[in-house]
Amino acid sequence: MKKINSKLIILGSGPAGCTAAIYAARSGLNPIMINGSQPGGQLTITTDVENYPGFEDPVLGPDLMQNMIKQAENVGCQTYNEQISEINLEQYPYTLKNNNTTFITESIIIATGASAKWLGLKNEEKFRGHGVSACATCDAFFFKNKKVAVIGGGNTAVEEALFLTKFAKEVILIHRRDQLRAEKILQKRAFSNKKISFLWNSVVVDINGNENPKLVKSISIKSLKDNSSSLLDVDGIFVAIGHKPNTDLFINKLELDNEGYLKVNNQVFTNKKGVFAAGDVHDKNFRQAVTAAGFGCMAALEAEKFIESKK
Ligand code: NDP
């Protein structure tokens, strides 16, 4: 087992983690960033990002994140394409472990973000990767000239629907209410896109398909207006109903709220000294790349103060 000492460990490499890494490296803390299972985070599975300042034209999510990680490395942060499976916050200095390495550290910034939520239907898991997806950017290509449904009414659902129109011949957005939650500019684009139609006040209650080869054929829908049931033929279903924070590692170790988000005081302080949180792992309100980056900056500045105070 390798042992690595570092003043500061940053968990996660999305906008929050990378920004924390850039600030901490520039203040001479020689931080380590552990990139996690999805280096670059959620933006690596989006396409055009047009609301991150500094880019005259839209920038691709994966490119933006690759640049952020490189920027962190260029200013002196070491990055590890690894995951942590165990964390000990009872003894100081803190330790974080996986199968190969024990990291020993004075301070931790948790920027592990959030992951897509699923509907919890019987056949959802079975058809995942065979017509059921939570990432249009990853899978839209497989639905050329096909008919697909998108579930949800937020920004993600509308962005997924718009992206899918580049490939699919028909996109049906199914929402449980009769109004979208998505930003007006996205709504306008969706309403004016001829390939997109809307099924309001409706929920998916089952996913139906072939066993061999595994293929989605239709979805069973229930109307929330009159409780009527119907069957909609589709080749694919994209679930875009929000996210859940990636905090399993911290259960019973740090205070979490009832939805599993890390509880913080003064923006970035968790209930353990020297352990800070940044981005979607604690922020269920804004959840933007730019706000996550802001939290990353705050967490790094507070970590620096904390480490200084230990001297
Ligand atoms: P949201 O939480 O904003 O939206 C989730 C949607 O799914 C809601 O419309 C909700 O319905 C619906 N929903 C939730 N649970 C269920 C369920 N069990 N069955 C059916 N429908 C369900 O999540 P998003 O992922 O869309 O967005 C998350 C955050 O990320 C937001 O703050 C968003 O602004 C941001 N974002 C920003 C982007 C950008 O700026 N370009 C791109 C993508 C996301 P209801 O409305 O009834 O609650």
The alpha carbon of 151 and the centre of ligand 1 are apart by a number of angstroms equal to 10
Nearest CA to ligand 1 atom 39: 155
pLDDT, residue 301, reads 98
Q: What is the pLDDT of residues 240-298, one digit of tens each?
A: 998 899 999 999 999 999 999 999 999 999 999 999 999 999 998 888 899 999 999 99
Shortest-distance Cα residue to atom 16 of ligand 1: 241
* Distances in whole angstroms, Cα of residue 199 to Cα of each of 1, 216, 234, 252: 55, 19, 13, 41
Whether residue 164 is predicted with pLDDT greater than 80 in this model: the reply is yes
**How do residues 91-143 score in pLDDT, each as one tens digit?**
999 999 999 999 999 999 999 999 889 999 999 989 988 999 988 887 899 99
Ligand 1 centroid vs 188 CA: distance in angstroms? 17
- DSSP category for residue 263: P
Distance of CA 265 to the CA centre of its chain: 22
Least confident of 71-80, 125-134, 153-162, 298-307: 125-134
Catalytic residue among 18, 77, 135, 297: 135
Lowest pLDDT segment from 155-159, 161-165, 230-234: 155-159
Q: Is the peptide bond before 93 cis (omega within 30 degrees of 0)?
A: yes
* Closest protein CA for atom 18 of ligand 1: 119
C-alpha to C-alpha distance for 287 and 16, rounded to whole angstroms: 11
List phi, psi (to 5°) of 170: -150, 135
pLDDT for 243 equals 87
Q: Among the options 18, 48, 63, 138, which is catalytic?
A: 138
What pLDDT shows up at residue 129? 84
Beta 170-174 vs 147-151: how paired, if at all? Answer: parallel
Among the options 18, 48, 77, 139, which is catalytic? 139
Partner residues linked to 208 by β-bridges? 218
Q: Read off the tokens for 236.
A: 């694919």
Residue 153 Cα, ligand 1 centroid: separation in angstroms?
6
What is the pTM (predicted TM-score) of this model?
Answer: 0.79
Structure tokens at 108: 């931790």
Residues in contact with ligand 1 (CB, 6 Å cut-off)? 51, 119, 151-157, 159, 176-177, 181, 203, 240-243, 287-288
Centre of ligand 1 from the C-alpha of residue 119, in Å:
13
Do 95 and 88 touch, CB atoms closer than 8 A? yes
Closest C-alpha residue for ligand 1 atom 33 = 155
Cross-strand bridge partners of residue 114: 245
